Amino acid sequence: MSRAVPARLHVLLARDAATAVVIRRGPSRHVAVIGWDRASDCFSVGQWLYGRIYERRCDLSPDGKHLLYFAMNGRWHTRVKGSWTAISRAPYLKALTLLAKGDCWNGGGLFLSAREYWLNGGDCHELLEDQSSLRRSNEYPWRESYGGECPGVYYIRLQREGWELKNRYGAQGDSVTVFEKRVGDRWVLRKLAHETVSHPVGRGCYFDEHQLLDARDQSTRELPTWEWADVDRRRLVWAEEGSLFTGSLRGRGLTDTRQLYDFNPLRFERIQAPY
């Protein structure tokens, strides 16, 4: 009997506020957006979508108030043409700004500030609604381009949030991009961003692996089950097996680890946005 695949998690941390959004996927056509108060470590389910949210093409505004996301439900003859980019009030999905897309090339975008955003593949969208009062910029937000799909948004977002791009290796269709972030004076968190058609069960063609590097003795600790990880103020936070965890790096390793929330038991429910 095969083991059930745990919920897949990706997290967007607000840069200037103690909030975040957790994007939880599983089963494959069920996705939830959950608000995370990082000051109290309390969680609240926003809304569910029967479809797919491309988490690596999403962004959270610096103040944590707005979510920019790219989604697909495959209903190609509807108003949104089966896929769309939207801006909502985090952690909900009800669109304030709604742009029909019609395919899964490009889509999504990045916040340039709390009031301004950039749209990935902007000319490929059709504006249907705009009630967010946010300004759209046509200026490309980075010094390098990584294509129009997930890396084209995700790799910019990582570097904007303090990750240093250290290396890229492999061939097209099976490559790894290496990012690193310092954790205090001794430790380095390494993120291995895969782009591959030969992905493991439960992972998509874009997925991450992680390592911890000890700068003193140059040793490396492999963390194969961590699918997302980052530094939240003075602590480490990561997603593993459908749960979110936190811990501190002291002495020779990770200490004071604890589970913040298990997202596996959550099930699809219809929730109305309060706006």
pLDDT per residue as tens digits for the range 84-93: 999 999 999 9
Q: Is the pLDDT of residue 1 over 80?
A: no
| Mean pLDDT computed over every residue of the chain | 95
Supply 183's token pair.
């954790």
Highest mean pLDDT (candidates 91-105, 168-182, 211-225): 91-105
At residue 171, the pLDDT reads 81
Which residue in 208, 205, 195, 204 sits closest to 239, CA to CA?
208
* pLDDT average, residue stretch 232-236: 93
Distance, in Å, from the CA atom of 247 to the CA atom of 236, rounded to the nearest integer, reads 5
- Pairing, β 135-137 against β 116-119: parallel
At residue 200, the pLDDT reads 67
At residue 199, the pLDDT reads 66
* pLDDT average, residue stretch 144-152: 95
At residue 267, the pLDDT reads 96
Bridge partner residues of 246 (DSSP): 237, 258
Q: What are phi and psi of 202, to 5 degrees?
A: 90, -5
Bridge partner residues of 53 (DSSP): 71
Given pLDDT bands bounded at 50, 70 and 90, which one contains residue 248? very high
Q: Is the pLDDT of residue 142 over 70?
A: yes
Q: How many CB atoms lie within 10 A of CB 140?
A: 11
Distance, in Å, from the CA atom of 272 to the CA atom of 46, rounded to the nearest integer, reads 9
CA distances from 87 to 128, 161, 186, 191, 249 (A): 12, 20, 39, 28, 36
Task: Answer with the residue of higher pLDDT: 92 or 148.
Answer: 92
At residue 198, the pLDDT reads 73
46-61 in b/e form (b: 16+ CB < 10 A) is bbbbebbbbbbbbbbb
Residues of the chain with pLDDT > 90, as a percent, come to 88
> How wide is the angle at C-alpha 232 spanned by C-alphas 167 and 151, nearest 5°?
35
Q: Is the pLDDT of residue 75 over 50?
A: yes
At residue 20, the pLDDT reads 98
